[in-house]
A and B are shown apart, each in its own frame.
Chain A
């Protein structure tokens, strides 16, 4: 029997396997940031261990770096401590780091691909659950905890249980205004936040192949919101073209290419589970609740919990509506928004900024809200400025910030106030995620921009 893409990559990275034990898997690239690494370096120091492969390790500052006044010392003392600790650890252990102010600084999952370090067939880990993003290149990439970070630093391997495989087939053609973000929100609403648990998801089908690399990253990024540890998409000409010319593209490009072309699921391979989604039927999607599975097409109304038969889901919906301050039956398009956040590792890439700027061009955002535009990396910011996108955002009345995670998780000063409602292109709408008491609706960049103009959840078609 043939193998799935994920099984091929897994098999090529087994250092050791034994019955009844997890496989010892070799890690090709280890990405580090300031939040989940200090205790790992501390552990190495305590045990007198070294970083085994500094040449396969790279660090950047993202989770709590400020997006304003980045030339000044970080004001928040604890954020400063974490960032300083990362810098000191990188220096002590000899790890390459891109610090605030550096052109390659930014969200770790934006930085890897833009440097060309993310390539097909690799195993990639990072102490951050959205590492699944890198799966868009046909790499097996997943988030790990701090002990695992320490384990990889010390050994460049991880003992891992072999995952099951799930195929999600998205066939058909997306309507205008429907994006990669809508695909993944619809998938999560369909299979639930636990639906992918224990699986590596392979996204397949004509609608996935049609997506740009940025769009594919958006889809793979939110695999974790569907419960899966990793998502992969088979590499193709778009993938190869994206890598070519990037700083870390292989010098032996043809040798690499020959290998990359073997990375697909064999015709006779079997997935443990298959799920189908009809791309033609998709609409712009938004979330109404407090987990990413609580989403609906933008044209729908806030659901009535009483009509949900599953008692768990009903209870969750009831609590979500209370937290979100929403009435059942309200059209989603009538929901007024206070803050629009365009950014994050889900939708903070150049293509996302372009799409939003296209909607905003020559227009003004509603006076009832603020809009924060936070590029995913310093390089994305520079690129956007070269294209004049910063002017479009500023002229429309939005704020143009420096790169980082920012309001995606509100560890830096970019937070929602209690009761404040956001339309956010990020990936998590949990209670308090963007600030204590803040209410989050997850949306695509197009919906974010249209919402900023109209003041209520909207798509460009409503303009």
Chain B
């Protein structure tokens, strides 16, 4: 996983609330068996609309998505995170994310930043007034900044450390193999196994 310490880029205002994962990437795109190439399905239902923000020249190069409240609700598909990353987004800002989506994004190295709705509105206003406005998401200082505004955001120490070190979860857990072994040694024998039952 790539390390995330700090990212600066232009913002894309997505003035919609409750954007669910079916809208981020519809189910028909989930049939692939690889991890790349999902950018063509991102927000696919809206991409035919010339007015849609990603179709506007000024926002095509954006790397920071600034979304409405309750972003990422719905299915647990991680493809939603990959689609955003494959497209080129490094961070998503919103006043509230769905739990699973946020978990998926932080594991995959897409930083999801929670700030107040009024601050989201201010960023929207700023990037709509000037689409070249640069937004910096700084994990080290836990701040989002643009123009002269600096907004703190919260993220737990552990997740922040992992993202800044670019550490993958499995590698971290495998260091705990001894604890897992001893836990397994104490599991009740009546717990079911999936091995086929011979009758």
Contacting B at CB under 8 A, from A156-185, are 156-157, 159
A24-B74 in contact (CB<8A): no
A16-B179 in contact (CB<8A): yes
Q: Mark B155-199, 1 if CB is under 8 A from A, else 0.
A: 011100000000001101110110110011001111111111101
B-chain residues with CB within 8 Å of residue A240 when the two chains form the complex: none
Measured CB to CB, the nearest residue on chain A to B108 is A147
Which of B172, B190, B197 has a CB less than 8 Å from the CB of A247? Answer: B197
B31-A81 in contact (CB<8A): yes
B30-A26 in contact (CB<8A): no
A146-B78 in contact (CB<8A): yes
A-chain residues with CB within 8 Å of residue B22 when the two chains form the complex: 428, 430-433
B194-A193 in contact (CB<8A): no
A122-B188 in contact (CB<8A): no
A193-B180 in contact (CB<8A): no
| Size of A's binding interface in residues, CB under 8 A | 79
CA distance in complex: A459, B27 (Å): 31
Does residue A411 face the partner (Cβ distance < 8 Å to B)? yes
CA distance in complex: A127, B30 (Å): 13
B-chain residues with CB within 8 Å of residue A128 when the two chains form the complex: 75-76
B31-A151 in contact (CB<8A): no
B156-A20 in contact (CB<8A): yes
B27-A148 in contact (CB<8A): no
B193-A291 in contact (CB<8A): no
A411-B183 in contact (CB<8A): no
Does residue B69 face the partner (Cβ distance < 8 Å to A)? yes
- A16-B176, A143-B76 known; A150 vs B170 contact (CB < 8 Å): yes
Contacting B at CB under 8 A, from A90-109, are 96
A259-B180 in contact (CB<8A): no
Which of B108, B174, B193 has a CB less than 8 Å from the CB of A154? Answer: B174
Tell me the minimal C-beta distance from A262 to chain B in angstroms.
12
A-chain residues with CB within 8 Å of residue B157 when the two chains form the complex: 20
Does residue A382 face the partner (Cβ distance < 8 Å to B)? no
Measured CB to CB, the nearest residue on chain A to B22 is A430
Tell me the minimal C-beta distance from B120 to chain A in angstroms.
12
Q: Mark A243-277, 1 if CB is under 8 A from B, else 0.
A: 00001101111011001000000000000000000
Does residue B107 face the partner (Cβ distance < 8 Å to A)? yes
Does residue B142 face the partner (Cβ distance < 8 Å to A)? no
| Size of B's binding interface in residues, CB under 8 A | 59
A250-B190 in contact (CB<8A): yes
B-chain residues with CB within 8 Å of residue A15 when the two chains form the complex: 176, 179-180, 183
B173-A96 in contact (CB<8A): no
Segment of B54-62, B98-106, B125-133, B144-152 in the binding face: B98-106
B-chain residues with CB within 8 Å of residue A256 when the two chains form the complex: 188, 190
B-chain residues with CB within 8 Å of residue A411 when the two chains form the complex: 27-28, 30-31
A193-B192 in contact (CB<8A): no
Does residue B17 face the partner (Cβ distance < 8 Å to A)? yes
- A36-B77, A156-B180 known; A117 vs B34 contact (CB < 8 Å): no
CA distance in complex: A227, B17 (Å): 15
B-chain residues with CB within 8 Å of residue A237 when the two chains form the complex: none
Q: Mark B57-75, 1 if CB is under 8 A from A, else 0.
A: 0000000000001100111
A-chain residues with CB within 8 Å of residue B8 when the two chains form the complex: none
Tell me the minimal C-beta distance from B184 to chain A in angstroms.
8
CA distance in complex: A42, B32 (Å): 12
Tell me the minimal C-beta distance from B70 to chain A in angstroms.
6
CA distance in complex: A42, B156 (Å): 30
CA distance in complex: A458, B76 (Å): 32
CA distance in complex: A262, B45 (Å): 49
B-chain residues with CB within 8 Å of residue A253 when the two chains form the complex: 190
B-chain residues with CB within 8 Å of residue A58 when the two chains form the complex: 194
A79-B31 in contact (CB<8A): yes
Tell me the minimal C-beta distance from B129 to chain A in angstroms.
22
B100-A430 in contact (CB<8A): no
A155-B173 in contact (CB<8A): yes
B194-A47 in contact (CB<8A): no
Contacting B at CB under 8 A, from A61-110, are 64, 76, 78-79, 81-82, 85, 96
B173-A157 in contact (CB<8A): yes
Segment of A49-57, A210-218, A343-351 in the binding face: A49-57
For the complex with contacts A248-B197, A410-B28, A430-B22, 13 further pairs of A-B residues with Cβ separation under 8 Å are A20-B156, A24-B179, A26-B180, A35-B31, A79-B31, A96-B195, A96-B196, A129-B76, A145-B100, A155-B174, A248-B193, A255-B190, A316-B18
Contact residues of A with B, CB < 8 Å? 15-16, 20-22, 24, 26, 28-29, 35-36, 38-39, 42-43, 47, 49, 52, 54-58, 64, 76, 78-79, 81-82, 85, 96, 116-117, 119, 122, 127-129, 143-148, 150-151, 154-157, 159, 193-194, 197-198, 227, 229, 247-248, 250-253, 255-256, 259, 291, 312, 315-316, 409-411, 428, 430-433, 436
Give me the 8 closest cross-chain CB pairs, A-B, nearest first.
A78-B31, A38-B33, A145-B78, A145-B104, A250-B190, A256-B190, A58-B194, A143-B76
Q: List 6 A-B contacts (CB under 8 A).
A: A16-B179, A22-B158, A47-B170, A147-B78, A155-B170, A248-B197
